[in-house]
Amino acid sequence: MQKADYLLIISPSHAVKSVAIYYKNWLASYIGSFTARFSEPHLSIASFIMDVCKEKILVPTLRRAAAEEKPFSLSTHGFGSFFNSRTVFMQIEEIKEFAQLSRNLHEKSTISFLPSTCKSLFYVPHLTIGRRLEHKYEYACRLFQYQTISQTFTASAVILLKRDEQGLFQSIQEFPFLSRPSQLSLF
């Protein structure tokens, strides 16, 4: 069976994307090119590998799960970093709300049935500026140490992406948050 890489994301507002792109370019002016320099700013919720034929089962479960969620505000608040992946990013304040959304979408969709070796769930929301900075990481952290940022946007949907043959992620479908009451399972 043919497998594919999938990514479930929240896309921030145009204004927040513009700020993230500004900081990606600003960082590049100091350290040169780096991983994630040209990637579209987004908040990753889950990444997974799945048989392509199971996509038609996944899509309706994600649609239902997302429809039960309410739109909510997310706010950027300064910059942070992950040492292990040598990543600098824009921090998002609403960690608990984001983590709950991630859990809900995982538990209420067929993602929960995938083997743990085939999926990664994300509970710390962030907008990546630079990733795998290696020997430039400490310098990048110092550059962002005194930078401040404060932007707010509404998360009103999640988007399912699939990696194409060229290695780029393409949008499969957007799933809006509709604040519908959750349906109880009888079994």
153: how many CB neighbours lie within 10 A of its CB? 18
Beta bridge partners of 171: 161
Strand, coil or helix: 172: strand
What confidence tens digit (pLDDT) does each residue in 74-114 have? 999 999 999 999 999 999 999 999 999 999 999 998 888 88
78-82: long-range contacts at Cβ-Cβ below 8 A with a sequence spacing of 24 or more?
78/147, 78/148, 78/149, 79/129, 79/144, 79/145, 79/147, 79/149, 80/126, 81/137, 81/140, 81/141, 81/144
Domains of the chain: 3-176 (3.90.1140.10)
Q: Supply the pTM of this predicted model.
A: 0.91
Residue in 36, 41, 61 with CA at minimum distance from that of residue 50:
61
135-143 average pLDDT score:
96
Residue in 144, 120, 156, 132 with CA at minimum distance from that of residue 82:
132
Q: What is the pLDDT of residue 185?
A: 55
59-63 average pLDDT score:
95
Q: Which pair of structure tokens corresponds to residue 30?
A: 């100091």
Give the lowest-confidence range in 13-27, 60-74, 116-130.
116-130
Strands 3-10 and 72-82: unpaired
Q: Tell me the backbone φ, ψ of residue 120, rounded to 5 degrees.
A: -135, 130
